Amino acid sequence: MRDVFIAGVGQTPITKDTESRGRSLGAAAVNAALTDAGVEPQRIGALYVGNMLSGILAQQQQLGGLIADYSGLAGIEAVTIEAACASGGAAIRMAYQAVAGGMHDVVAVCGVERMTHVDRDAVTRALASAADWELEGVCGESFLSLNATLMRAYMDKYGVTAERFAPFAITAHQNALTNPNALLRKPLDLATYMSSRIVMDPIRLFDVSPVCNGASAVVLAAPHVTTRLASRSKVRIAGSALATAPLALARRADLLDLTAVSSSTQQAMKQAGVVHDDIDLFEPHDAYTIMTALTLEAAGFARAGAGLEFADAARIGLHGELPLATFGGLKARGHPVGATGCYQIAEAFLQLMERAAANQVPNAEVALVQNIGGTGATVVTHVLTREN
Amino acid sequence: MRDVFIAGVGQTPITKDTESRGRSLGAAAVNAALTDAGVEPQRIGALYVGNMLSGILAQQQQLGGLIADYSGLAGIEAVTIEAACASGGAAIRMAYQAVAGGMHDVVAVCGVERMTHVDRDAVTRALASAADWELEGVCGESFLSLNATLMRAYMDKYGVTAERFAPFAITAHQNALTNPNALLRKPLDLATYMSSRIVMDPIRLFDVSPVCNGASAVVLAAPHVTTRLASRSKVRIAGSALATAPLALARRADLLDLTAVSSSTQQAMKQAGVVHDDIDLFEPHDAYTIMTALTLEAAGFARAGAGLEFADAARIGLHGELPLATFGGLKARGHPVGATGCYQIAEAFLQLMERAAANQVPNAEVALVQNIGGTGATVVTHVLTREN
């Protein structure tokens, strides 16, 4: 199979507005990515759209064809990829497969989501469709309650207090301050974190990523195309893997063991030929602070129960040993669910291209990016490297 | 890229029940396909699920991971592909790409849909999500009304009467009589067709495919795997293409020109190296009789305005020059929307394997299979050939 490069990226600013249109957001991101890559629309072989909620909240399916049309790509191959909050990452993986396998030389990927044009109850209910509806949703479980179950189980098992999770959120807010596309550009300190309301015990408001709208796009290309583009990208997708686990927590052997994180991380890192020490930055799926802790353990950065050792601004800040959520992450950049995986890849690309400005991680050459659907049911992991 | 073979298929009987579960239907189809192929579950590299309505009508997204788990494939790569009523065909195409490109040696595809557990209005509204909601859905357009617009425009432009469309439906019903998985196993004659109620002028009840439930699965494999399987399949995917057109009828240059049918058919046939005379049977997307007429024209079997020349039992029956809808098609086998594309491929496979029993098309060696989302917005075309 061929090497695959990221030729360019586009992001729309994340908002909580009620007026943006899905097709316009998607087209804006796609066109920004095409411009960034310096690629003509007629070179695009396919468009894969990552989206979770448009059918439920906006009565609009078939976004592939719709966004292709409004992006000036009418006629091309286009489909929607859905894997709950991992939809964006899964769409990137499908595009990687298309280019690596030789089906297309250039593929555009667009993650798009609108969540704030409906009331909060509708969003909560729609997000619960990522869980097992028969076993969890019908019992009244929501994404919040399932994550509260995980966080409570973790705190009980390892005897840790809620404030230990705070640095994950504080660092995300710090990084978002200088990201023009981030939703939450305000600093967070421990006192504010601890005094924020408990939305579902033990989860505080600042443990949770916000409901919002946004679109991000990525152009993937084969090496012979990439070298001729104005963007002169040297960012390669060196590893790509997608793994699953049962949706319902009750069907898992161990609540606190994210098996799909372990297996997809191992596969992607093995393909890329990198070890943990090689990784210069990690964009985890920090939808909840507990997910970051569990992810660091399952991904092999810490042993079980030791993920919170990374909850330390000195270790995970932009100049730390393992920078996390370098543009604010899901927590502070925002989490427009089906779009998130594409924002993550776009941000890691900017880091490896040394285009991250105030958010730049020094000497970033290897990035790990992980997008998760449900409470660990679908996990897409990519390793990006800068080639010399 | 590698050759890709269909190793085995599975189908659940199509029903209008209110109790079937999506995960059970999906798992039954997947397991039937694995058994038919004679492949062990651990050989499966990925599962792609085609589905349109589960999120809207059953509060369940992330069907990839869910059906993988319930099929005994927990852990593997699994995602959902959505392209409205072309979801099943689009999932087949993604699997084709994964095997042809070398990402996986064996991939399972499952199309699944449940539509009769909710009331009819909910289904009508959900199906309208395949159209352009902002331009059509909000104006009260439904799939029925959009197809009525097309049929009326066709009748006016070419001066034909409604009864000219009847043979498409009559032939489908005839073929479904001997398909144990078909929903509508009752003969249809011209008098019954003409006396059926007009559901939306000029569309009669028997012009329309039924709302129903079902799942179908297909196993695709690389040649080195296929030759060692008990099924000893000789059915190859010789051509595969997906094209799009604007969703809204108002955004198309010519209402009656299905441009994505033309382009995807041409691409798939060119890849397969076949011409129209080579095709022994055609499974069109006969959701409405008008779609069959328009498809025959856009696919190059008839010139514009002449598609109804095929509306003749002698030409399209199992022993005709171009057998259509050989197991009953969407019209009489049934149209569980996201599953349909997989039923079509399964049926064409049975034809080329000479396993079609009473529905066998004599000497079937080349099959054209086409799955359409919306009123022609996403079109997936496959050419299957029997290798000797």
pLDDT, one tens digit per residue, over A23-51 is 999 999 999 999 999 999 999 999 999 99
| φ/ψ of residue B118, rounded to 5 | -125, 170
**Which residue, among A155, A149, A173, A188, has the nearest Cα to A307 in the 3D structure?**
A155
Environment class of A18 (CB within 10 Å of its CB; exposed 0-12, middle 13-18, buried 19+): exposed
Residues of A in contact with B246 (CB under 8 A): 65, 69, 74
Asked if residues A41 and A325 have their Cβ atoms less than 8 Å apart, the reply is no
Residue A353 gets which letter from DSSP?
Answer: T
- B246: nearest CB among A64, A69, A128: A69
- B75: nearest CB among A58, A60, A244: A244
Residues of B in contact with A84 (CB under 8 A): 61-62
Instruction: Calculate how close chain B gets to A274, using CA atoms only, in Å.
Output: 20
Instruction: Calculate how close chain B gets to A2, using CA atoms only, in Å.
Output: 9
Asked if residues B216 and B179 have their Cβ atoms less than 8 Å apart, the reply is no
- A246: nearest CB among B74, B79, B133: B74
pLDDT at residue number B40: 96
Residue A183 gets which letter from DSSP?
Answer: S
Q: Band of the pLDDT at B241, cuts 50, 70, 90?
A: very high
Which CA distances in Å does B343 have to B137, B210, B213, B215, B329? 28, 15, 12, 8, 9
As a whole number of angstroms, the distance between CA B162 and CA B160 comes to 7
- Interchain contact, B69 vs A244, CB within 8 Å: yes
Instruction: Calculate how close chain A gets to B386, using CA atoms only, in Å.
Output: 23
Asked if residues B274 and B238 have their Cβ atoms less than 8 Å apart, the reply is yes
Instruction: Calculate how close chain A gets to B237, using CA atoms only, in Å.
Output: 14
As a whole number of angstroms, the distance between CA A247 and CA B67 comes to 10
Q: Which of A25, A66, A79, A262 to mutate to test the interface with B (most CBs of B within 10 A)?
A: A79
Instruction: Calculate how close chain B gets to A127, using CA atoms only, in Å.
Output: 9
With b for 16 or more beta-carbon neighbours within 10 A and e for fewer, the B257-273 pattern comes to bbbbbbbbbbbbbebbe
pLDDT at residue number A338: 98
- A82: nearest CB among B61, B132, B137: B61
Instruction: Give percent above pLDDT 90 in chain A.
Output: 98
Q: What string of H, E and C letters represents the secondary structure of chain B?
A: CCCCEEEEEEECCCECCCCCCHHHHHHHHHHHHHHHHCCCHHHCCEEEEECCCHHHHHCCCCHHHHHHHHCCCCCCEEEEEEECECHHHHHHHHHHHHHHHCCCCEEEEEEEECCCCCCHHHHHHHHHHHCCCCCCHHHCCCHHHHHHHHHHHHHHHHCCCHHHHHHHHHHHHHHHCCCCCCCCCCCCCHHHHHHCCEEECCEEHHHECCCCEEEEEEEEECHHHHCCCCCCCCEEEEEEEEEECCCCHHHCCCCCCCHHHHHHHHHHHHHHCCCHHHCCEEECCCCEHHHHHHHHHHCCCCCCCCHHHHCCHHHHCCCCCCCECCCCHHHHCCCCCCCHHHHHHHHHHHHHCCCCHHHCCCCCCEEEEEEEECCCCEEEEEEEEECC
Residues of B in contact with A77 (CB under 8 A): 241-244
Instruction: Give percent above pLDDT 70 in chain B.
Output: 100
Computed on alpha carbons and rounded to an integer, the radius of gyration of chain B in Å comes to: 19
pLDDT digit string, tens, across residues A309-344: 999 999 999 999 999 999 999 999 999 999 999 999
**Token digits for A243?**
């793994």
ipTM above 0.85, yes or no: yes
Asked if residues A359 and A73 have their Cβ atoms less than 8 Å apart, the reply is no
**Which residue, among B218, B179, B107, B154, has the nearest Cα to B334 in the 3D structure?**
B179
pLDDT at residue number A232: 87
- Interchain contact, B247 vs A65, CB within 8 Å: yes
CA angle at B127 for the pair B126 and B131, rounded to the nearest 5°: 115
- Interchain contact, A244 vs B56, CB within 8 Å: no
- Interchain contact, B82 vs A78, CB within 8 Å: no
Half-sphere exposure of B70 toward its Cβ, with a 13 Å CA cutoff? 20
Residues of A in contact with B93 (CB under 8 A): 79
Residues of A in contact with B68 (CB under 8 A): 244
Helix then strand then coil, in percent of chain A rounded to 5, is: 45, 20, 40
Residues of A in contact with B55 (CB under 8 A): 52-53, 55-56, 82, 126, 129
Residues of A in contact with B66 (CB under 8 A): 132, 247, 377
Q: Which of B47, B244, B251, B257 to mutate to test the interface with A (most CBs of A within 10 A)?
A: B244
Q: Band of the pLDDT at B388, cuts 50, 70, 90?
A: confident
Q: Band of the pLDDT at B230, cuts 50, 70, 90?
A: confident
- B102: nearest CB among A1, A259, A378: A1
- Interchain contact, B53 vs A55, CB within 8 Å: yes
pLDDT at residue number A388: 81
Residues of A in contact with B56 (CB under 8 A): 55-56
pLDDT at residue number B235: 98
Residues of A in contact with B128 (CB under 8 A): 59
Q: To the nearest 10°, the Cα dihedral for B386, B286, B307, A64? A: -90
- Which residue, chain included where needed, has tokens 């799939």? B143
Coil, helix or strand at residue A100: helix
| Bridge-based pairing state of the strands B214-221 and B106-113 | antiparallel
Q: Which of B3, B4, B51, B62 to mutate to test the interface with A (most CBs of A within 10 A)?
A: B62
Residues of B in contact with A81 (CB under 8 A): 79-82
As a whole number of angstroms, the distance between CA B376 and CA A57 comes to 24
Q: Which of B47, B82, B105, B262 to mutate to test the interface with A (most CBs of A within 10 A)?
A: B82
Instruction: Calculate how close chain A gets to B95, using CA atoms only, in Å.
Output: 10
Find the farthest-apart pair of alpha carbons in chain B and give their distance in angstroms, rounded.
58
Mean predicted confidence (pLDDT) in A260-274: 98
**Token digits for B244?**
């799009």
**Position A230 pLDDT exceeds 90:** no
Q: Which of A62, A71, A247 to mutate to test the interface with B (most CBs of B within 10 A)?
A: A62
- Interchain contact, A102 vs B1, CB within 8 Å: yes
Environment class of B253 (CB within 10 Å of its CB; exposed 0-12, middle 13-18, buried 19+): exposed
Q: Band of the pLDDT at A231, cuts 50, 70, 90?
A: confident
Tell me how crowded residue B360 is: count the other CB atoms within 10 A of its CB. 17
- Interchain contact, B65 vs A98, CB within 8 Å: no
**Position B232 pLDDT exceeds 90:** no
Instruction: Calculate how close chain B gets to A242, using CA atoms only, in Å.
Output: 5
- Interchain contact, A59 vs B129, CB within 8 Å: yes
- Interchain contact, A97 vs B103, CB within 8 Å: yes
pLDDT at residue number A375: 97
Environment class of B167 (CB within 10 Å of its CB; exposed 0-12, middle 13-18, buried 19+): buried
- Interchain contact, A251 vs B77, CB within 8 Å: no
Query: What amino acid positions of A are annotated as catalytic residues?
Result: 85, 335
Mean pLDDT of chain B: 97
pLDDT digit string, tens, across residues A157-212: 999 999 999 999 999 999 999 999 999 999 999 999 999 999 999 999 999 999 99
Mean predicted confidence (pLDDT) in B232-258: 97
What's the one-letter identity of residue B360? Q
Instruction: Calculate how close chain B gets to A125, using CA atoms only, in Å.
Output: 8
Mean pLDDT of chain A: 97
